Structure 1
Amino acid sequence: MSTFATLDEHPAKKVKMDETRKVIGTHNGTFHCDEALAVFLLKRTSAYANADLTRTRDPAILDTCTVVVDVGGVYDESKQRFDHHQRGFTEVFGHGFNTKLSSAGLVYKHFGKEIIASRLRVSVDDPKVETLWLKLYREFIESIDAIDNGVNQYPADLKPLYRIRTDVSARVGYLNPAWNEPFDSATLDSRFLQASSLVGEEFLGRLDYYGNAWLPARDLVAEGLKKRTEVDPSGKIIIFEQFVPWKEHLFDLEADLSIPEDSKPLYILYRDESGGSWRVQAVPAAPESFQSRKALPEAWRGHRDDELSKITGVEGGVFVHASGFIGGNKTQKGALEMAKLALTL
């Protein structure tokens, strides 16, 4: 059993220890990514920002803890007990996710919105919080749940061609002492704090990216989708005044808005990253597909500059890729003309 101080990385002020001091409990010995993250997340909540941490498997000591994660054989939110190892445990995140939760997923399910809202300095009811809560589960938490619960990423009969052991769960695992290193409580507790900080800071970094870059891009795509009939009455063309990562957002928003297949955009126009010429990109048939909903005309493909302008009848042609998935023009006007013409061919 070991008891030690709070994680230093939380910005909350430390308070004087007294009999009302809250304690987070988890198991001692070898640690895993899920409880390392669960503890970090709890330390980002108002309830447990200043809590102590106890690592033990002693039931009597765990009973005295305010909240317990990854040990104890009980999942009961009302009692603040978040274990997932007990027989009959089947809790999942919901919202279309069916991976069995680990302690990380359990804590995130109940406290994630508060943590996100606090980081963004917005109300927990802000629509952005729900969007990011689901996004972070899909992109960060779910794999931790799956790895800890031994859920195969692929069917068992599908043999991978190579291994990936640089994921965050593996990196946390490597922080455990090796077989020929000291395995005393002090060493393990110190390494656990390193692990909790590692996975926690990665979580916050991912949250910051989604909140500050991914979500604003989604807003721009939503605005472009809303105004597409102003670009062309068909609604098949979207214009972005700057480069923005649009593919993932476009497919998500089309699904959210239940846009009929025959009303979905076919071409995206945007200024290239250098800020010079304009691009006309065909929307792919699926997010990862190399096939387009409607590729640029075959007669244009593989041609450049004046030759392309002559073939299309549109001045300022730059290029059209041999596969027809993307083309370019020197001006927005020219790119729009190319896109409108492509709709008819």
Structure 2
Amino acid sequence: MPTKRQKTEKVIGTHNGTFHCDEALAVFLLRQTATYRDADVKRSRDPAVLNTCDIVVDVGAVYDVTENRYDHHQRDFNHVFGHGFETKLSSAGLIYKHFGQQVIANITQIPSGDPKIDILWLKMYKEFIEAIDGIDNGISQYPAEIKPKYRSRTDLSSRVGSLNPTWNQSTDARTSDLLFAKASILTGEEFVGRLNDYTKAWLPARDILIASIAESKQNVDSSGKIILFQQFLPWKEHLFELEADSSFPEIIPEQAVYVVYPDEAANNWRIQAVPASYESFESRKALPEAWRGLRDEELSTISGVPGGIFTHASGFIGGNKTREGALRMARVALAI
């Protein structure tokens, strides 16, 4: 009778001693892949021990994908994520760059090859991983001459750091490894939570925006300057990304001027000017100067549109009691 083949576990190697957010997250990410799902972790700086591992992160002074070595501490290491990002990678960024798409597919259960994988991959680097890379590599968010008004130690890297034993606390290797495992779980829970939020809430808004643009051009404003939403959604970031994406030629840069959507909490409608850029306070075309700061009947009289509720003093947003009124405000504002 043939002998049953025993399952061989993979081993992830990283350094022992004080641990940091980047390798804690790197280990978690690797364990979300099919290859390293059940991997053990060895924490050591001994080359002989590391050479027994299947993959090594954040130690060993080698970055070589063919050898499964992912360290970033070498003097000549200057690798970045690419895709417009310029922050030097930590071990978290390295593992995410090479394994992140697999991780996202496995966690979200989105089929490999689906364009949504790459959208989420880039979004998670921008909003989650890049800060860990920057902090681990000592890269400041601001120029050195700008002094922050306060200090924050509530970021993920700081919270992982606080899990390390204090300088005057005696800790054996086993306890240190258990604390590292706790840190890895902490980083993983936050990663998965953020990914789930982007997958279930942020990303669906993109599809609604694309459909709304097409429908608005057909039924609301053929010029594409007014976009009507049937529900509120986070649209700004998606709009600017789609305008810059050549695979969506029907979405022309700087074409949209106003968006109209329901304010469900107040049971009325809003008209909002599209900003000049994603985080800009300036608008492509603010609501008319004569309307700004006015409310109710006075606004309705000046604008010539019944049902007016308000127009913000800066002209970036206004309100009307009805959908038709908000759309009419948008059309009148375009003509002024």
Instruction: Normalising by structure 2, report the TM-score.
Output: 0.93
Q: Which residue of 2 aligns with 1:251?
A: 240
Asked if structure 2 preserves the Cα contact closer than 8 Å seen for 1:228 and 1:236, the reply is no
> CA–CA distance in 2 between the matches of 1:17 and 1:300?
78
Greater mean alpha carbon deviation, residues 27-36 or residues 250-259: 250-259
Amino acid at match of 2:272: Q
> CA–CA distance in 1 between the matches of 2:111 and 2:223?
38
Q: Which residue of 2 aligns with 1:336?
A: 327
The alpha-carbon distance between structure 1 residues 89 and 213, as it changes in their structure 2 partners (threshold 3 A), is: same
- SS of the counterpart of 2:244? helix
- Residue 119 of structure 1 and its aligned partner are, at CA, apart by 1.4
Asked if structure 2 preserves the Cα contact closer than 8 Å seen for 1:270 and 1:278, the reply is yes
The correspondence for 1:96, drawn from 84, 101, 104, is 84
The alpha-carbon distance between structure 1 residues 149 and 17, as it changes in their structure 2 partners (threshold 3 A), is: farther
- Residue 290 of structure 1 and its aligned partner are, at CA, apart by 2.1
Q: Which residue of 1 aligns with 2:226?
A: 237
Q: Which residue of 1 aligns with 2:133?
A: 145
Cα shift readout 1:279-337 (whole Å, capped 9, x = no counterpart): 01111222222222111112222222222222222222111122211111111111111
Q: Which residue of 2 aligns with 1:287?
A: 278
Asked if structure 2 preserves the Cα contact closer than 8 Å seen for 1:25 and 1:62, the reply is yes
The alpha-carbon distance between structure 1 residues 19 and 332, as it changes in their structure 2 partners (threshold 3 A), is: closer
The alpha-carbon distance between structure 1 residues 19 and 217, as it changes in their structure 2 partners (threshold 3 A), is: closer
The correspondence for 1:317, drawn from 299, 303, 308, is 308
The alpha-carbon distance between structure 1 residues 19 and 223, as it changes in their structure 2 partners (threshold 3 A), is: closer
Instruction: Normalising by structure 1, report the TM-score.
Output: 0.91
- Residue 167 of structure 1 and its aligned partner are, at CA, apart by 0.8
> CA–CA distance in 2 between the matches of 1:275 and 1:118?
40
- Residue 125 of structure 1 and its aligned partner are, at CA, apart by 0.5
- SS of the counterpart of 2:293? coil
The alpha-carbon distance between structure 1 residues 293 and 315, as it changes in their structure 2 partners (threshold 3 A), is: same
- Residue 264 of structure 1 and its aligned partner are, at CA, apart by 1.7
> CA–CA distance in 2 between the matches of 1:61 and 1:274?
60
- Residue 226 of structure 1 and its aligned partner are, at CA, apart by 3.2
Q: Which residue of 2 aligns with 1:46?
A: 34
Are positions 1:157 and 2:148 aligned together? no
Amino acid at match of 1:290: F
The alpha-carbon distance between structure 1 residues 275 and 118, as it changes in their structure 2 partners (threshold 3 A), is: farther
Q: Which residue of 2 aligns with 1:264?
A: 255
- Residue 19 of structure 1 and its aligned partner are, at CA, apart by 7.4
The correspondence for 1:63, drawn from 42, 51, 54, is 51
Amino acid at match of 1:182: S
- Deviating above 6 A after TM superposition, structure 1's stretches of 4 or more consecutive aligned residues are none
Amino acid at match of 1:71: V
Q: Which residue of 1 aligns with 2:75?
A: 87
Cα shift readout 1:5-52 (whole Å, capped 9, x = no counterpart): xxxxxxxxxxx9957321111111100000000000111110011111
The alpha-carbon distance between structure 1 residues 180 and 84, as it changes in their structure 2 partners (threshold 3 A), is: same
Q: Which residue of 2 aligns with 1:11?
A: none
- Residue 344 of structure 1 and its aligned partner are, at CA, apart by 0.7
Asked if structure 2 preserves the Cα contact closer than 8 Å seen for 1:228 and 1:237, the reply is yes
Provide the aligned length of Structure 1 versus Structure 2.
329
- Residue 273 of structure 1 and its aligned partner are, at CA, apart by 3.4
- Residue 132 of structure 1 and its aligned partner are, at CA, apart by 0.4
The correspondence for 2:177, drawn from 189, 198, 211, is 189
The alpha-carbon distance between structure 1 residues 279 and 49, as it changes in their structure 2 partners (threshold 3 A), is: same
- SS of the counterpart of 1:256? coil
- Residue 229 of structure 1 and its aligned partner are, at CA, apart by 2.1
Cα shift readout 1:185-215 (whole Å, capped 9, x = no counterpart): 1221111011101111100001001111110
The correspondence for 1:178, drawn from 161, 166, 174, is 166
- SS of the counterpart of 2:208? helix
Asked if structure 2 preserves the Cα contact closer than 8 Å seen for 1:25 and 1:54, the reply is yes
Of all paired residues, the percent bearing the same amino acid is: 63
Are positions 1:108 and 2:108 aligned together? no
Say what the alpha-carbon RMSD is for the aligned residues: 1.8
Cα shift readout 1:150-193 (whole Å, capped 9, x = no counterpart): 11222222222222211101110011011122232122111101
> CA–CA distance in 2 between the matches of 1:102 and 1:141?
9
> CA–CA distance in 1 between the matches of 2:7 and 2:67?
19
- SS of the counterpart of 1:278? strand
Q: Which residue of 2 aligns with 1:3?
A: none
Amino acid at match of 2:235: W
